[in-house]
C-alpha cells in the first residue's frame, strides 16, 4: 500500500525514482537519478535523454451511480493502471488531475432525489478515498503518483476544513518537483482559483507561492534552469481562448438531468488573467487538466498549450467544442514524451477499453 499522505509533503513530491532536494527552502534541483537500476554509477542525466509521464483525470469513483456503488469506476482505474504498468520505458510519474472520488458533502447533502445526511456523505467519502488508495497502490512502484484535488474532493467553494480533509488523506494540495534535470512541474489547487471566497488567505498564499516557483524555475542563479515547465491542475485555465468569459461561451455538456455550461469548467477570467500573465512572463510550456470529462487542446497567444484530458469515469460531450478536434471523445489517458534538452514535447491520448 502506497503512503499517499507522505508522498506529497513539504510542497514537493517524495519518490525514490525522482529524488528532490532535502532542503526545499533553497529550491535546489534534484540530484539526477541513475538511468536504470542496473547501472547506478551514472552521476548525471544524458543531455540527449527524453522521458515520459502520464496524465489521467476524474477517476471520480461513485459518479455513474450517484454514489450507490463505485466498483464501476474502480474497474476503469484498474484498466488504466494495467496499461500504464505495461508501458516501456516506464513513465517517470502519473498525475491524476483531480476529482479522485465523487462524494463530497456539499454536492450531495439533502438533495431531493438522493438524500444523504452530512454524516452519510462523510462516511461514503472516507470509504471511496480508501478504495481509491487501495486500487492505485497497484501502480508500479517505480512510477511516482501525483494526486490532485478537484472540486469533488474539496467542494466547489473550498474551505480550510475541506482542504485539510484532503491533506489528511493525500498530502499537500499543491506542490512542485523536478522530474529530470531540466523539467520542472508545478501542481496547483485549481479549485481555489475557481472560487477563492471560502479560503481567501489560502488562495493568496498559493498565488504568491506559484510566482515563486515560476521565478525559481527560470532563475539563472541556480546550477540548472528548466527547459520545460508543466503546470497541472483540475480545472482548465481556459477551454478555447485565454480571454474567454462566461458571456462568450454558449456550449453545454448534457449529463443525466443536467446541462453543464462550458463556463462551469474553466477558471473565471478574474482569477485567470493574472495567472496567464505569470505563465507568459516565465514561459510555461503547457498546462494539463481534467474536469471537462472530455478532451480539448487549445493554445494561448504566447504558445502555452492548454491540454484537457478526458476522464476515467463518465464522459461528456460539449456542444461548444470545435469540429476539428482530432482526439476521440472516449474514456482514456494521455502519454506525454518530453525532450529534456530543448523542452519540446509530444502528447497522445489513448482510449481505453470498456469494462
The stretch 285-309 carries a mean pLDDT of 99
Q: What is the pLDDT of residue 172?
A: 98
Q: Are 169 and 328 in contact (CB under 8 A)?
A: no
Q: Report d(CA 251, CA 231) in Å as an integer.
A: 26
What's the average model confidence in pLDDT over 302-329? 96
pLDDT at residue 108, as a whole number: 86
pLDDT band of residue 47 (cuts 50, 70, 90) is very low
Residue 158: which CATH number? 3.60.21.10
Q: Give the integer Cα–Cα distance in Å for 183 and 194.
A: 27
Q: Which among 323, 276, 270, 264 has a CA at the least distance from the CA of 296? A: 323
Please give the residue that has the higher pLDDT: either 7 or 48: 7
Instruction: Say how many domains are in the chain.
Output: 1
Asked whether the beta carbons of 40 and 324 are under 8 A apart, the reply is no
30 pLDDT above the threshold of 90: no
pLDDT of residue 20: 87
- The confidence score (pLDDT) of residue 33 equals 42
Given this model, what pLDDT does residue 115 score? Answer: 72
**Is-contact 66 127, C-beta < 8 A?**
no
Q: What is the residue range of 228's domain?
A: 4-351
| Set of cell numbers at residue 40 | 547506478
Pairing mode, strands 228-232 and 286-289: parallel
Q: Between 55 and 20, whose confidence is greater?
A: 55
| C-alpha–C-alpha distance, residues 351 and 354, integer Å | 9
Cβ pair 282, 220 in contact under 8 A: no
Percent of the chain residues topping a pLDDT of 90? 85
pLDDT band at 46 (very low <50, low <70, confident <90, very high): very low
Is residue 171 predicted with pLDDT exceeding 60? yes
Question: pLDDT tens digit string along 233-269?
Answer: 999 999 999 999 999 999 999 999 999 999 999 999 9
Query: Is residue 119 predicted with pLDDT exceeding 60?
Result: yes
Say yes or no to pLDDT of 224 above 50. yes
Q: Is the pLDDT reported for residue 44 higher than 60?
A: no
Give the mean model confidence (pLDDT) for residues 168-184: 96
Whole-number pLDDT of residue 75: 98
Residue located via cell numbers 514524451: 337
For the segment 58-76, the average pLDDT, to the nearest whole number, is 98
CA distance linking residue 339 with residue 355, whole number of Å: 34
pLDDT tens-digit readout, 277-294? 999 999 999 999 999 999
- Report the C-alpha gap between 188 and 295 in whole angstroms: 20
What three-state secondary structure class fits 200?
helix
The neighbour count for residue 31, using CB atoms within 10 Å, is: 13
pLDDT reported for residue 43: 35
Separation between Cα atoms, residue 342 and residue 227, nearest integer Å: 6
* 99 close to 132: Cβ distance less than 8 angstroms: no
Q: What is the mean pLDDT of the chain?
A: 92
| The pLDDT of residue 35 is above 70 | no
Which pLDDT belongs to residue 222?
Answer: 62
Mean pLDDT on 11-18: 96
Amino acid at each position: 500500500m502506497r503512503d499517499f499522505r507522505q508522498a506529497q509533503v513539504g510542497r514537493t513530491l517524495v519518490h525514490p525514482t525522482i529524488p528532490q532536494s532535502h532542503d526545499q527552502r533553497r529550491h535546489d534541483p534534484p540530484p539526477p537519478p541513475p538511468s536504470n537500476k542496473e547501472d547506478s554509477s551514472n552521476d548525471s542525466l544524458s543531455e540527449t535523454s527524453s522521458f515520459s509521464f502520464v496524465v489521467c483525470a476524474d477517476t471520480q469513483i461513485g459518479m455513474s451511480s450517484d454514489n450507490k456503488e463505485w466498483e464501476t469506476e474502480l474497474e476503469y482505474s484498474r484498466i488504466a493502471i494495467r496499461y500504464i504498468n505495461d508501458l516501456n520505458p516506464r513513465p517517470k510519474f502519473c498525475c491524476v488531475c483531480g476529482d479522485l472520488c465523487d462524494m463530497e458533502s456539499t454536492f450531495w447533502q439533502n438533495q431531493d432525489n438522493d438524500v444523504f445526511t452530512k454524516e452519510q456523505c462523510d462516511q461514503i467519502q472516507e470509504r471511496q478515498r480508501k478504495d481509491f488508495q487501495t486500487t492505485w497502490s497497484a501502480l508500479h512502484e517505480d512510477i511516482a503518483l501525483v494526486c490532485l484535488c478537484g472540486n469533488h474532493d474539496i467542494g466547489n467553494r473550498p474551505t480550510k476544513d475541506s482542504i485539510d480533509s484532503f491533506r489528511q488523506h493525500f498530502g499537500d494540495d499543491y506542490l512542485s518537483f523536478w522530474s529530470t534535470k531540466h523539467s520542472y512541474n508545478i501542481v496547483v489547487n485549481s479549485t481555489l482559483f475557481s472560487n477563492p471566497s471560502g479560503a481567501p488567505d489560502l488562495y493568496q498564499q498559493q498565488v504568491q507561492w506559484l510566482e515563486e516557483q515560476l521565478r525559481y524555475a527560470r532563475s539563472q542563479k541556480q546550477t540548472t534552469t528548466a527547459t520545460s515547465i508543466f503546470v497541472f491542475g483540475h480545472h482548465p485555465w481556459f477551454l478555447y481562448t485565454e480571454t474567454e468569459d462566461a458571456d462568450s461561451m454558449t456550449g453545454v455538456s448534457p449529463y443525466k438531468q443536467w446541462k453543464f455550461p462550458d463556463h462551469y469548467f474553466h477558471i473565471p477570467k478574474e482569477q485567470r488573467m493574472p495567472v496567464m500573465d505569470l505563465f507568459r512572463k516565465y514561459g510555461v510550456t503547457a498546462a494539463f487538466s481534467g474536469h471537462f470529462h472530455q478532451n480539448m487542446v487549445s493554445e494561448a497567444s504566447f504558445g502555452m498549450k492548454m491540454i484537457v484530458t478526458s476522464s476515467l469515469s463518465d464522459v461528456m460531450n460539449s456542444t461548444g467544442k470545435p469540429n476539428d478536434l482530432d482526439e476521440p471523445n472516449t474514456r482514456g489517458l494521455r502519454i506525454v514524451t518530453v525532450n529534456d534538452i530543448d523542452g519540446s514535447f509530444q502528447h497522445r491520448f489513448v482510449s481505453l477499453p470498456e469494462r
